[in-house]
Structure 1
Amino acid sequence: MIRHVVLFKRKAGADKDAHLEGALTERMAALGAHIPEIRHWRVAANELVRPISWDYVLESEVEDAQALDAYLLHPLHQALVADLKPYFDWAAVDYTV
């Protein structure tokens, strides 16, 4: 299994838009149910405010690198990425579990 972890942070200088942010994170949370390669999917908001904190985390698992590629190239994922890019910066880590 490969664990795919992504941290999201509102872009520097981006005004907080609660409606947009809520819509984006709802779409993010729902995405896992629509892509067959995904075995585990969780999206959570940061609960503590610290200088090193990011705003959201996505934790997911897929069978292997081929399944990860299928997820990353899936049209629903690509559409969400296009909408996330103007509002969030992110960092990802992928590792074997």
Structure 2
Amino acid sequence: MMRHIVLFRRLPGVEAQPELESVLVARMRDLTEEIDFIRDWRVAANELDRPICWDYILESSFDDADAVQRYLPHPAHQALVADLKQYFEWVAVDYSV
């Protein structure tokens, strides 16, 4: 099993747009409806206001590294990435469990 963790925060210099942010997060949450080989998927908002914290976390699981490699270029994922990169920056970690 491979875990794929991504942290998101609004890009520096980008003004907060709560309505747009809500739509983007909803699209992140709904991605499992379009990609059937995702095994586990959770998107959560940060709850504490600390300088070190990012705004959102995506925790997901895939069968193996090959499945993650299939997910990354998947058209549904790429369409979401195209919109996310206008508003968020992110970092990711992938590891075996």
Which bracket does the TM-score occupy, shorter chain normalised? Answer: over 0.9
The amino acid of 2:5's aligned partner reads: V
Whole-Å Cα distance in 2 between the matches of residues 25 and 76 of structure 1? 14
| Unpaired stretches in structure 1, ≥5 consecutive residues | none
Q: Which residue of 2 aligns with 1:70?
A: 70
Q: Which residue of 2 aligns with 1:84?
A: 84
Q: Which residue of 2 aligns with 1:59?
A: 59
Whole-Å Cα distance in 1 between the matches of residues 32 and 42 of structure 2? 8
Whole-Å Cα distance in 1 between the matches of residues 71 and 32 of structure 2? 9
Whole-Å Cα distance in 2 between the matches of residues 92 and 32 of structure 1? 18
Calculate percent identity across the aligned residue pairs: 60
- SS of the residue 1:83 aligns to: helix
- SS of the residue 1:23 aligns to: helix
Normalised by the length of structure 2, the TM-score is 0.97
Whole-Å Cα distance in 2 between the matches of residues 34 and 3 of structure 1? 19
The amino acid of 1:39's aligned partner reads: R
Whole-Å Cα distance in 2 between the matches of residues 43 and 61 of structure 1? 12
The amino acid of 1:42's aligned partner reads: R
Whole-Å Cα distance in 2 between the matches of residues 36 and 75 of structure 1? 13
Deviation (angstroms), 1:33: 2.6
* Backbone CA RMSD of aligned residues: 0.6
| Unpaired stretches in structure 2, ≥5 consecutive residues | none
Deviation (angstroms), 1:40: 0.2
Q: How many residues align?
A: 97
